Amino acid sequence: MTLTLYGTEVTSRLLLGTARYPSPAVLQRAIAASGTEIVTVSLRRESGPDRAGQAFWSLIREAGVRVLPNTAGCKTVKEAVTTAQMARELFQTDWIKLEVIGEDDTLQPDPFGLVEAAKILCTEGFQVFPYMTEDLIVADRLLAAGCEVLMPWGSPIGSGRGLNNVYALRTLRAHFPNVPLVVDAGIGLPSHAAAAMEFGYDAVLLNTAVAKAGEPEQMARAFAQAVVAGRVAFLADPMEARDMAAPSTPVVGRPFSARD
């Protein structure tokens, strides 16, 4: 059940964000409960005074997880590329979750800026995890730019609406069967995560659903179990839905009495 991302094997298929938790201690417990091996970190947020720099890094090191830096909040190609370059220097990793936001209300990615930034970063040796819509053409362009992983949204960031466009997500999976696909953003419930995994997606990345839950540690544990359940269900080759009923008990050879 291991997943390979840019040559790195991980066991957990749940990726966790580190923003908006009530306290560092709650974050630490949620990371442990989730079993995640990868957490996303925003350069802007974590370098701010509210994180006290070294204290936050001590927490991450103690958790023993891999960091996926994030260009969160970037709206232009130049801004995203510069932030990625700074993140590589600070976090000592070529991994970068690439965001180029094109619309403020939905935080929808700018597909044109995203592809342009991905081309630049891939040329510079970055291993890019692009946050994108569930668009086949954009996916194809990102792969051509050098990306080896794609991260389509389920729904807008922080909305908790789950998988808004199931048809498009299924189509994306079918068109790119050998590309690691990670549903990123909009996941609100463990059932949403399980559904994504049942469609054959390789992993799920979420933040708000755990961070803003009444009991983040318990919610993290629930998501971990849901991701595993969804993956196992996918591998088990689920039955197809039917329009009509199908009796679970066969009627051929059933016992009957003389009065039947």
- Take residue 238 and report the two structure tokens written for it: 């689920």
The pLDDT confidence band at residue 62, using thresholds 50, 70 and 90, is confident
**pLDDT, tens digit (0-9, with 9 covering 90-100), for 130-144:** 999 999 999 999 999
**pLDDT, tens digit (0-9, with 9 covering 90-100), for 9-24:** 999 999 999 998 999 9
Report strand pairing: 151-152 vs 182-184: unpaired
From 75, 78, 97, 212, the catalytic residue: 97
In the DSSP assignment, the letter for residue 240 is P
Beta strands in 111-218, from DSSP E residues, in sequence order: 127-132, 151-152, 182-184, 203-206
Q: To the nearest whole percent, how much of the chain has pLDDT over 70?
A: 92
Predicted confidence (pLDDT) at residue 189 exceeds the cutoff of 80: yes
**160, 208 in Cβ contact below 8 A?**
yes
Distance CA 37, CA 35 (A): 7
For the entire predicted model, the pTM comes to 0.89
In the DSSP assignment, the letter for residue 53 is T
**Whole-number Cα distances in Å, 192 to 197, 198, 222:** 9, 10, 12
**Annotated catalytic, 212?**
no
**pLDDT, tens digit (0-9, with 9 covering 90-100), for 160-179:** 999 999 999 999 999 999 99
**pLDDT, tens digit (0-9, with 9 covering 90-100), for 177-188:** 999 999 999 999
Burial of 249 (0-12, 13-18, 19+ CB in 10 A): exposed
